[in-house]
Amino acid sequence: MEKIRVDGQEGDAGTGTEAAGLRARHDEIEKRLTELERHLSLTPDEQIERSQLKKEKLRAKDRLALLSAGVRRAS
pLDDT tens digits along 27-59: 999 999 999 999 999 999 999 999 999 999 999
Does residue 52 lie in a domain region? yes
Does residue 54 lie in a domain region? yes
Higher pLDDT, 46 or 13: 46
Does residue 44 lie in a domain region? yes
> Residue 61 sits in which domain range?
3-70
Does residue 55 lie in a domain region? yes
Determine the pLDDT at residue 12: 52
pTM score > 0.75 for this model?
Answer: no
Does residue 27 lie in a domain region? yes
Residue 62: which pLDDT band, with cuts at 50, 70 and 90? very high
Does residue 20 lie in a domain region? yes
Three-state secondary structure string covering the chain: CCEEEECCEEEEHHHHHHHHHHHHHHHHHHHHHHHHHCCCCCCHHHHHHHHHHHHHHHHHHHHHHHHHHHHHHHC
What's the structural domain count of the chain?
A: 1
